[in-house]
Structure 1
Amino acid sequence: MALWVFLFRTKKKHPSSIYMANLALADLLFVIWTPLKIAYHLNGNNWTYGEPLCKVLVSFFYGNMYCSILSITCLSVQRYWVVAHPLSQQSKSTNVAVGVCVSIWAFIWLTTTPLYLYDHTVKLKDPNITTCHDVSVIKNRTDPFPSVQLPFYYFNFMAVVVFLIPCVVIVVAYILLLRALGNSMQEIKAAKNRNRSRVLIMTVLVTFMVCFIPSNIMLVVHYALLKNGVINNGYSFYISTLCLASLNSCLDPFIYYFVSEDFRNHVKNTLLCRSSRTVERMRVSFSSLKNTRKSKSSTSDTGKTKSSTS
């Protein structure tokens, strides 16, 4: 629904709609592979689809998380830019947004490549299952434990470059955004923008605190322990944080709802089973009624003026 609204139902392609379409696309590509993950757990955590599909599932999982972080960062910066520079040229901003989204996907494709360079499936003796990126007991393995050097350095790099730096950028952008709203001269419009910005800030903060902060911290801790040959006693918490990381796909629609008026209207009309033609007829009727009331009001005021003059 979000992709349909942002790509086909939004008449003017604003930079925010482009960033949100990018975010929705990342969620869609992640959800496509979710049935394999569901079947894996229903099968007693026994992966029967081979090493290549396991690598694809893992890369799309982390690709979604890091692409979501970068897209939310760009959306936050863009919201500040709109408030601080309302007269900036729309066409240039839109072209910049498209270029940034293309760069994000190129970066994600490049940075998820290392996830294909080592095996994620592990054959266990007891129980007799094959796990996919889901191993806590090292001593029960039937094959030599693979090197954790690559994932250790990989997740440390991603935690700093694709998590910590965007977090700092988002915090700075929101501080500047609130300051710019506070300095606005139009009180009514400023109050409306301030309330919507506060809701956006709270939604993004909840997304980061619940989905991204715990998972990125535990990824660094988990692979640091494996690198030093220490079994992670908090492995269940580590797995739980990865499950919470998937929750960002459920929280992203709230970002669409509070940022995009087109998305809000489309959701409302969909829930009320209104077609696009019905909505257009309602809009025309409302505009006609509004114009009729204005003309009657102006006629009445003119009559009163003539009467008072007489």
Structure 2
Amino acid sequence: MSVNLTNINCTDQLKWTNRYVVSAVVYGLVLGVGLPLNTVSLWILLRRHGLRSSSAVLMINLAVSDLLLALSLPLRIYFYATVRWPFGAGACTAAVMLFRINFRTSSCFITLISLDRFFALVFPLRSRSLRTSTFASKCCVLVWISLTLLCIPGIVNHQKALKTCGSNVNCFESGVPVNGAKESAIGQAIFLFILLVVNVVCTAMVICALRRRPSGDKTKVNKKMSVILIFAVNMLVFIVFFMPFALHLMMLHLDTGNEESKREVFHALVCLASINCCLDPLIYYFSLDSFWQDKGKIQGDATTHSLSRSMERS
């Protein structure tokens, strides 16, 4: 969501709308649910799983991303609940940057988790060198650095635009990319579509691989269902929370509709996208076998190991 702000509204008298109330309520619920869930998930991942596997490394980074996104929400809640912003342009820029970076990193880490599961189940032996905690850590560092750098130009433009408002900063309602930043917005939309395609392909190939394996006993059936649920949650997050925002970024430059209605839809979809951090803990639960067990009791990723052995025997 690194976009240039071209329509800056500097008046401190905003028109109250129902969307402001809904936004404050939704952001409040996301904070109330997402913050404790991701805090507990991060604690469990670090204490009981550590950085011993590629799956754990990716999920720890996703939990950190979601936790930081949740921590950026109190200022948004205050703004939409009071319809005022007394904190200045600097605080606004920091809150916007934190939200944007973690929105992007979340989509990347979810895709990396799908790829990790895909290689573990479809190519268990050939992907062994790729599925290491070291390689996963390098990928995560690359994601954090590259996406942070990509956000900097938009944040700089955001800061410059807000400085023209002086003390009358409307922060999260200051503008949307309707007349400028066309290439940036379309690029972001294409990026999200590419990530969706990767998730769709991984999901389809994993389902095909699982269908070719004998069901066996009830334990194996349950493990297969857990694997399918991982990909189901990933697809749900992308289709429900990320894709509407991506489609709207594309549509912003393809029609000449009312600018105010575009603004309303844009901010509503940003609000919707923030909900994804409440569902991500489900990925941790279904992805890591024995999620609640201590490190010493866990003998690797049992789900992947069992399914991989089944692949080798078939």
The equivalent residue for 1:253 is 281
- Match for residue 65 of structure 2 among 26, 29, 36: 26
Q: Percent identity?
A: 26
Larger Rg over CA atoms: 1
1:4 aligns with 2:43: yes
After TM superposition, give the deviation of residue 16 of structure 1 in Å. 1.2
The equivalent residue for 2:171 is 132
The equivalent residue for 2:147 is 108
The equivalent residue for 1:155 is 185
TM value normalised by structure 1: 0.71
C-alpha separation between the residues in 2 aligned to 1:260 and 1:95? 18
1:64 aligns with 2:102: yes
- Where structure 2 has 5 or more consecutive residues not aligned to the other structure, the ranges are 1-39, 299-314
The equivalent residue for 1:177 is 206
The number of equivalent residue pairs is 253
After TM superposition, give the deviation of residue 28 of structure 1 in Å. 1.4
C-alpha separation between the residues in 2 aligned to 1:63 and 1:252? 17
The equivalent residue for 2:267 is 239
- Is the 8 Å Cα contact of residues 79 and 85 (structure 2) preserved in structure 1? yes
- Is the 8 Å Cα contact of residues 229 and 286 (structure 2) preserved in structure 1? yes
C-alpha separation between the residues in 2 aligned to 1:212 and 1:66? 10
C-alpha separation between the residues in 2 aligned to 1:134 and 1:225? 22
The equivalent residue for 1:86 is 124
- Is the 8 Å Cα contact of residues 118 and 202 (structure 2) preserved in structure 1? yes
After TM superposition, give the deviation of residue 90 of structure 1 in Å. 7.1
- Equivalent residue letter for 1:29: L
1:191 aligns with 2:221: yes
C-alpha separation between the residues in 1 aligned to 2:259 and 2:163? 16
- Is the 8 Å Cα contact of residues 55 and 115 (structure 1) preserved in structure 2? no
The equivalent residue for 1:210 is 240
- Equivalent residue letter for 1:200: I
C-alpha separation between the residues in 1 aligned to 2:215 and 2:130? 25
Distance 1:115 1:53, change over 3 A: farther
Distance 1:262 1:115, change over 3 A: farther
C-alpha separation between the residues in 1 aligned to 2:101 and 2:208? 33
TM value normalised by structure 2: 0.70
C-alpha separation between the residues in 2 aligned to 1:79 and 1:92? 9
The equivalent residue for 1:38 is 77
Deviates more, 1:30-39 or 1:87-96: 87-96
C-alpha separation between the residues in 2 aligned to 1:229 and 1:246? 26
- Is the 8 Å Cα contact of residues 123 and 131 (structure 1) preserved in structure 2? no
Q: Secondary structure at the match of 1:184?
A: coil
- Is the 8 Å Cα contact of residues 122 and 135 (structure 1) preserved in structure 2? no
Q: Secondary structure at the match of 2:113?
A: helix
After TM superposition, give the deviation of residue 77 of structure 1 in Å. 0.9
The equivalent residue for 1:304 is none
Q: Secondary structure at the match of 2:170?
A: strand
- Equivalent residue letter for 2:224: R
After TM superposition, give the deviation of residue 48 of structure 1 in Å. 1.7
Distance 1:207 1:194, change over 3 A: same
